């Protein structure tokens, strides 16, 4: 589904990502772990068009993504959340969803004024899709709440729903459980599985090892911009290079 080959990026002469390659298969959950500064978010930013790679290629569903702007990559089917929550806090949950949906399929001014049949059909479809995604995220009963009134975990899930509103088939999650309580982490874990069970492929950066080991099909490990390991959780748990570089000398819990 996604093939990353020899990806490289430097900032002021410092290599953030150095010759990294990996693939993501359709329908799997792939996690990327590593210490702060390992190059994980830089890799995400290149895949989603926020950084231009210095070298290497990114191919999604047979299409080369290098050089495409973020909005074109989103339209190609890659949705993404960020470390910092990006919501319109003065809008309701439903209105936040509508903004995301209309960015993907904008309504013309004349169509909105004249209430043309195509515009009405699109609004009906937007409402249907909004209800579907909010239900998936456990937010159906919060549709008319101000997004600022949601709990932190709920805001994170709303952000996921907005990312999926672009009809994404690959969802990138950048530290989705950062700052969450254990209860919120459990809900997020169930939500990620639910997303995958609908056929959406998930690629996440995460520091919560319990979550990573529980939900991942495979794990890529980064250190100082280099991929040092890639395997199933049971092997990553005991991989010598991972234990030395990222986890100390203790086995992952």
Q: In this predicted model, what pLDDT tens digit does every residue of 74-107 receive, in sequence order?
A: 999 999 998 788 788 889 999 999 888 876 555 5
Q: Is the predicted pLDDT of residue 253 greater than 80, yes or no?
A: no
Q: What's the DSSP call for residue 147? A: G
Indicate whether 203 belongs to any domain.
yes
Last residue of a domain, one of 166, 201, 216: 166
Show the domain range for 185.
Answer: 1-77+168-253
pTM for the complete prediction?
0.86
Indicate whether 82 belongs to any domain.
no
Q: How many domains does the chain have?
A: 2
Q: Is the predicted pLDDT of residue 250 greater than 50, yes or no?
A: no
| C-alpha triplet 135, 141, 146: angle, nearest 5° | 110
What's the pLDDT at 107? 52
Residue 120 shares a structural domain with residue 242 = no
Q: In this predicted model, what pLDDT tens digit does every residue of 117-130 receive, in sequence order?
A: 656 666 777 778 89
Residue 192 shares a structural domain with residue 73 = yes
Q: Is the predicted pLDDT of residue 113 greater than 60, yes or no?
A: no
What's the pLDDT at 243? 86
Residue 200 shares a structural domain with residue 239 = yes
More confident residue, 144 or 127: 144
| C-alpha triplet 183, 136, 118: angle, nearest 5° | 150
Q: In this predicted model, what pLDDT tens digit does every residue of 186-223 receive, in sequence order?
A: 999 999 999 999 999 999 999 999 999 999 999 999 99
């Amino acid at each position: 589904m996604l093939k990353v080959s020899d990806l490289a990026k430097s900032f002021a002469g410092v290599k953030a990502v150095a010759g990294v390659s990996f693939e993501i298969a359709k329908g799997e959950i792939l996690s990327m772990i590593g210490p702060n500064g390992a190059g994980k978010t830089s890799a995400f930013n290149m895949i989603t068009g926020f950084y231009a790679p210095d070298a290497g290629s990114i191919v999604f569903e047979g299409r080369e993504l290098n050089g495409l702007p973020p909005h074109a990559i989103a339209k190609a089917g890659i949705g993404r959340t960020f470390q910092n929550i990006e919501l319109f806090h003065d809008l309701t949950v439903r209105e936040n969803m509508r903004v995301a949906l209309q960015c993907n399929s904008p309504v013309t001014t004349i169509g909105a004024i004249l209430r043309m049949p195509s515009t009405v059909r699109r609004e009906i479809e937007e409402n249907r899709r909004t209800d579907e995604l909010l239900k998936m995220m456990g937010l159906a009963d919060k549709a008319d709440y101000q997004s600022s009134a949601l709990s932190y975990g709920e805001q994170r899930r709303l952000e996921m729903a907005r990312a999926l509103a672009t009809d994404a088939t690959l969802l990138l999650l950048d530290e989705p459980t950062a700052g969450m309580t254990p209860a919120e982490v459990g809900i997020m874990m169930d939500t990620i599985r639910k997303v995958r069970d609908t056929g959406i492929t998930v690629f996440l950066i995460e520091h919560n090892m319990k979550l990573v080991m529980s939900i991942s099909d495979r794990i890529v490990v980064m250190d100082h911009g280099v991929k040092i390991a890639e395997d199933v959780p049971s092997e990553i748990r005991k991989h010598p290079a991972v234990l030395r570089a990222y986890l100390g000398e203790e086995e992952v819990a």
